[in-house]
Amino acid sequence: MSSFQTQRDLFDLPEGITYLDGNSLGPLPKSAVDRARTTMAEEWGPMLITGWNKARWMDLPARLGDRIGRLIGAPAGSTVVGDTLSIKVYQAVASAVEMRPGRKIVLSDNGNFPSDLYIADGLLKSLKQGHELKVVDPEAVAENITEDVAAVMLTHVDYRTGRVHDMKAITDKAHAAGAIMIWDLAHSAGALPVDLTGCNADIAVGCTYKYLNGGPGAPGFIHVRPDLIDQVRPALSGWLGHQAPFAFDLDYRPGEGISRMRVGTPPVIQMTVLDAALDAFDGVEMTDIRARSIELSEQFISEVEDGCKDVVLASPRDPQARGSQVSFRFHEGYAAMQALIARGIIGDFRAPDIMRFGFCPLYNTADDVRHAAAVLCEIIATGEWDRPEFKQRKAVT
Ligand SMILES: *Cc1c(COP(=O)(O)O)cnc(C)c1O
């Protein structure tokens, strides 16, 4: 057993709910409620516009970037928070393509989250320079990194199966071919150790409302390797990425370092909530979180497979090749997940047939796992999922 101590008391988890969906939306940290109240009642209310200086709201994007940087192996001053992840993907791909003029391919895989693919494709079409988004199987990425590839854009942990790409090996391969490497850490940041510096990644982006518990709609982040940032021309050149936003110059000059990747006004309330949420990681090592997450996911796989023969593991069996989630295929996966939710066990469903369960050692325990596995097996054994109300598709799955 790992020595990791659960931090469950830091979270406001509803009574009677087993939450295994922190990979989609982290739960509410208790301190976030006070912090949002403070921001509104003690800063915004009395300070009004002077809060930008007095409460240092303008520093939040860089300060939060550094707090996240510690969790992903990025040096201080190389990560900034703001906008949504989709927008950060746009900036990453636009900058990468511009740094490799003459190369026309952006390479990704079909395990990537669709928004990343849509954004890259849309951007390349707007450029009208003959670029192509090439999407291959995850196993075929390495062999497709050729000298006409401008950028390789991959999500480290597959959102459906949890399969993990070898960041170091693929980054090395991309660099050997002269391509820019972009990593999306949406399902990695706060879930498993990431060493951006050690693998020499060029650009990384990610999300703060999943394992970082920043709340619905919390902003994304972007990191650029410090020796590259001066070459990066932010495609979304907003005023807050300007060298001197309050000079109100008519011409754009990119800001110092990573600050140039800022776009517009930061969402202050959401950012202070994220700041409070990140306290849960203080004094915690990602290697300890990882060790505990592997214990929980191994327990889940073994208990589900022992008790239920009708589901098929969709995640890699090797825990080192898996992120902090476990997915099972079941032909009526949507209905089975609705039946589980009706019994207070919250995971989620991804088309066409994947039931997805996220494990967050900050608040999930071995009892959660035992309970979820037992109820899942029971729902399938008794056919409890086979009711019309469980087959009605909701707008958000
Ligand atoms: C969650 C997720 C997104 C979502 O992007 P938003 O702009 O925050 O809606 C994008 N890409 C990946 C890989 C994700 O996992």
The pLDDT score that the predictor gives to residue 238 is 97
pLDDT digits (tens, 9 = 90+) for 70-103: 999 999 999 999 999 999 999 999 999 999 999 9
**Which residues have CB under 8 Å from 19's CB, separation 6+?**
13, 27, 346, 363, 364, 368
Which domains, ranges and CATH numbers included, belong to the chain? Answer: 5-28+285-391 (3.90.1150.10), 56-281 (3.40.640.10)
Q: Which residues line ligand 1 (CB under 6 A)?
A: 84-86, 113, 115-116, 155, 159, 184, 186-187, 207, 220
In percent, the amount of the chain with pLDDT more than 70 equals 100
Given pLDDT bands bounded at 50, 70 and 90, which one contains residue 2?
confident
- Catalytic residue among 19, 90, 209, 334, which? 209
The pLDDT score that the predictor gives to residue 241 is 97
Q: What is the mean pLDDT of residues 22-27?
A: 97
- Atom 14 of ligand 1, residue of closest alpha carbon: 186
pLDDT digits (tens, 9 = 90+) for 190-237: 999 999 999 999 999 999 999 999 999 999 999 999 999 999 999 999
Mean of per-residue pLDDT scores for the chain: 97
Nearest one of 326, 226, 216, 264 to 83, comparing CA atoms:
264
For residue 21, report the distance from its CA to the centre of ligand 1, in Å.
Answer: 15
Nearest atom within ligand 1 for CA of residue 24: 1
Q: Mark whether 184 is an active-site residue.
A: yes
pLDDT digits (tens, 9 = 90+) for 266-306: 999 999 999 999 999 999 999 999 999 999 999 999 999 99
What's the predicted TM-score (pTM) here? 0.97
- Catalytic residue among 210, 260, 292, 350, which? 210
Given pLDDT bands bounded at 50, 70 and 90, which one contains residue 395?
confident
Task: Report CA-CA distances (Å) from 263 to 53, 90, 137, 202, 243.
Answer: 19, 12, 33, 20, 12
The pLDDT score that the predictor gives to residue 397 is 79
The pLDDT score that the predictor gives to residue 263 is 98
